[in-house]
Amino acid sequence: MIESGHGSSTEIPVALSSASVYPLNVHDAFAVSHDLGYDGVEVLVTGNQVSQDPAALNRLAERYEQPIMAIHAPTLLLTQQVWGTAWNKIESAAAMAVEVGCDVVVAHPPFRWQGIYATEFATGIRRIMEEYGVRIAVENMYPWRARGREAKMYLPHWNPIPEPYEFVTWDFSHSAIADMDSAAAFRDLGERLSHVHLCDGKNNGKDEHLVPGRGTQPVIEGIEYLRDSAWDGVVAVEVSTRKAKGAGEREAWLGETLQFARRHLAPVSQDAKGGSAATQ
């Protein structure tokens, strides 16, 4: 695995999701990640050929000194045509993770219409994890609403907490739509929490993936909980920059989010702890 030349003093690495530079491509994600000083990249597999090619991804990781820290399988509605069947998407993502030197695969829960894949999802991902030696971390989603009523989109559910998934990815924007408290979810998940998508959101039905602090989620409380609980996962910034006015604003938002993460993930010194206790 490539060692980043822009490492921070935090023990928890901060990666940049390639989704954060959309509509730019995965090559741009590596360049932006390097320029801003991230610790690595999470690759979202899309219709872009480079995002599907482990050899090309390894070349980008080498060129930009940005290790690949997670592979996001193409399990979104917008990537239904990528890599064929639902199970092939998961297996191919697991195989790619091995080839690029990471051990986390992010996957969305199944859609209700996906038949046996949906009903046997928990068992199937367990088999693939054992075969490839990776962690498949199922991401929290949110309820879809139509005409004021919840549409049953996911099977068994959009909320992974009560499901028998060994590993979970938590996304703050999805949590906002679902009107859930991410900090409380982190405590409930315990060691099952394997990966975090850092962003923010509001309970307005829109999956906005805002810069932290621009929404309503307890992002600071959640991130500092990770810092204080000896968590050993990766925080991946997944902020939407589609509305940014050019590269300058995009990089400003992603730079601001990186600094937010570094600030709240930085280990607290014993002196600082003592000072806090003394002022209480």
- Note the pLDDT tens digit of each residue in 203-224: 998 999 999 999 999 999 999 9
Closest Cα partner for 236 from 203, 267, 268, 194?
194
Q: What number of other Cβ atoms are within 10 A of residue 203's Cβ?
A: 15
Does 6 fall in a domain? Answer: no
- The pLDDT of residue 5 is 36
Closest Cα partner for 43 from 82, 73, 22?
73
Does 161 fall in a domain? Answer: yes
What mean pLDDT value characterizes the chain? 92
- The pLDDT of residue 174 is 98
- Note the pLDDT tens digit of each residue in 127-143: 999 999 999 999 999 99
For the domain that residue 61 is a member of, what is the CATH number?
3.20.20.150
Closest Cα partner for 181 from 216, 144, 141?
216
Domain range holding 273?
14-279
3 confidence band (pLDDT: 50, 70, 90):
very low
- Note the pLDDT tens digit of each residue in 174-195: 999 999 999 999 999 999 999 9
Does 8 fall in a domain? Answer: no
- The pLDDT of residue 228 is 96
Does 2 fall in a domain? Answer: no
- The pLDDT of residue 11 is 84
φ, ψ of residue 20 to 5 degrees: the values are: -70, -15
- The pLDDT of residue 108 is 97
Does 88 fall in a domain? Answer: yes
Q: How many distinct structural domains can be found in the chain?
A: 1
The first and second tokens of residue 197, run together, are: 């998508």
- The pLDDT of residue 118 is 96
Inter-residue long-range contacts of 188-194, CB under 8 Å, 24+ positions, other chains counted: 188/161, 189/161, 192/165, 192/166, 192/167, 192/168, 193/168, 193/231, 193/233, 194/104, 194/135, 194/137, 194/167, 194/168, 194/169, 194/233
Cα 84 to Cα 33: distance, rounded to the nearest angstrom: 30
Does 225 fall in a domain? Answer: yes
Does 3 fall in a domain? Answer: no
Does 250 fall in a domain? Answer: yes
Cis peptide before 109 (omega within 30 of 0): no
Q: Report angle CA 34, 38, 43 to the nearest 5 degrees.
A: 80
Does the pLDDT of residue 274 top 90, yes or no?
no
